[in-house]
Amino acid sequence: MVGQKFVELLSAHPWFKITALAASERSIGKKYREAMRWMMSTPLNDEVGELTVSPCLPELPCRVVFSGLDASVAGEVEERFAQAGYYVISNSRNHRMDPDVPLLIPEVNSSHLELLKTQRFPVGKLVTNPNCSVIGLAMALKPLADRWGIEKVHVVTLQALSGAGYPGVSGFDTLDNVIPYIAGEEEKIEKEPLKILGTLIGNTIAPYSMNLSAHCNRVSVADGHMACVSLTLHQKASQSEMISAWRHFTAEPEVSHLPLAPANPLIYLDDEIYPQPKLHRHLGKGMSVSVGRLRPCSLFDWKFTLLSHNTVRGAAGCAVLNAELMLKKGII
C-alpha cells in the first residue's frame, strides 16, 4: 500500500521523476503494471506502469531512493544504498532510532537534518519518517510541547486496514470486528515521539522527556488512523489557548511552501462528532492532521481525538515531504 502511494504521489510530482522501481525477487523483470495490482483510486501513470522492476541493488539510475521495504530486508538494503551514495528516504522502521539518522517530520523537527552532516555515510544520506500512528500524534503534540511542556500522554489508537499492508488482514477477521493488537506498534508509539520532539545538541538528539503509554487496535476502516489521546501538560493551559495553538501552528516558511506541505498542518474541528476517518482523512490532500473534542480529563489534564491519513501523512506523503525539504535545503 505504501509503495503504491509513493508511486501515486511521485508520478504527479513537480520536482521528482520516477526513473526506476525496485522490488523483491518475485517482481524483478516484470513491467510494474504487471508486477502488482494497482489499488489507488487515481489511475496508474502510463509511463511508470511500463517501467521494468529492478532488483534492490545500488545500481539504480537515480539519485533519490524512496523505500517502503518490509522491515525484514529494509535495514540492510537501505544501508547499502546510502553507502553507495544514494539519498535514501525511508518509511521503514529499521533505522529510525539510529543516533545519526533523522526521524523527520518537516513541520516538527526540520532542524534534525543537521544530523546528516556527521552521518556515517561518505556521500549518501539516510532519512526516515516515523511510524504511521506516530506522525499525527507528534504533530498534534508539537505546539503543546513548545508552549506548555508535556508530562505524559496516554494514547489508544483505532487504526486503518491499509496500515497492515496488502493483503494485510483477512476480510473475514475485519468485518464486524476489532482486533485489539498490532505487533510492535505500541512500542513504537511509546518511543519514537521522544526522539522526534527531542533537541539537537551537537551531533545528537537529546530525547524529549515525557511518559507515553499506548493501546493499539485495528478497526474496519480503509484509511485513516484515529487516536484517543489523554495528556498532562507541565504548565496550565486553557481549552481555547490549546485550540488556538493548534489552529495557528505552521511550519517554518521553507517547509510550508513545499509542494506537498498542507496549508494547515493541524485542523481543529468544532463539531463534537468529528474528526471521522471517512470525512476528514483527505483534508489537505491527506497531509493535514485533524483534531477534535478537546475537553478536560479527570485523570490527565486534557483529552482529545486525533486523525491522520496513515498512508499519506503517516507514510509516503511524509517521506516525499522529507525529500522535498532536503532538496529545498540543498542537501540533495
Q: Residues 110, 325: contact at Cβ < 8 Å?
A: yes
To its own copies, the closest distance from the beta carbon of 61 in angstroms equals 30
To its own copies, the closest distance from the beta carbon of 207 in angstroms equals 14
**Is 225 assigned a catalytic role?**
yes
To its own copies, the closest distance from the beta carbon of 230 in angstroms equals 6
Query: Residue with C-alpha cell 510541547?
Result: 145
To its own copies, the closest distance from the beta carbon of 187 in angstroms equals 11
Q: Which is the catalytic residue, given 95, 154, 225, 280?
A: 225
Q: Closer to its own copies at the Cβ: 113 or 231?
A: 231
Q: Take residue 44 and report the three cell numbers written for it.
A: 496508474
**Is 154 assigned a catalytic role?**
no
Q: Give the DSSP H/E element, type plus range, for residue 295.
A: strand 289-296
Inter-CA distances, 283 with 130, 228, 275, 294, Å: 20, 19, 11, 19
Task: Count CB neighbours of 2 within 10 A.
Answer: 25
Q: Closer to its own copies at the Cβ: 23 or 221?
A: 221
Q: Take residue 314 and report the three cell numbers written for it.
A: 503517516
Pairwise CA distance, residues 326 & 263, whole Å: 19
Burial of 224 (0-12, 13-18, 19+ CB in 10 A): buried
- Which residues form the interface with its own copies (CB under 8 A)? 1, 37-39, 41-43, 152, 154, 156, 158, 161-162, 164, 166-181, 190, 211-213, 215, 217, 219-222, 226, 228, 230, 271-279, 281-283, 292-293, 297-300, 303, 305
Cα angle, residue 215 at apex, residues 200 and 212 outer, rounded to 5°: 30
Tally of residues, the chain:
332
Q: Closer to its own copies at the Cβ: 37 or 236?
A: 37
Burial of 152 (0-12, 13-18, 19+ CB in 10 A): middle
Query: Residue with C-alpha cell 509503495?
Result: 3
Q: Closer to its own copies at the Cβ: 179 or 332?
A: 179
Q: Which is the catalytic residue, given 132, 154, 216, 309?
A: 132
Q: Closer to its own copies at the Cβ: 122 or 272?
A: 272
> Strands 150-159 and 225-233: what pairing?
antiparallel
To its own copies, the closest distance from the beta carbon of 39 in angstroms equals 7
Query: Residue with C-alpha cell 503494471?
Result: 33
To its own copies, the closest distance from the beta carbon of 204 in angstroms equals 24
Q: Closer to its own copies at the Cβ: 17 or 278?
A: 278
Catalytic residues: 132, 225
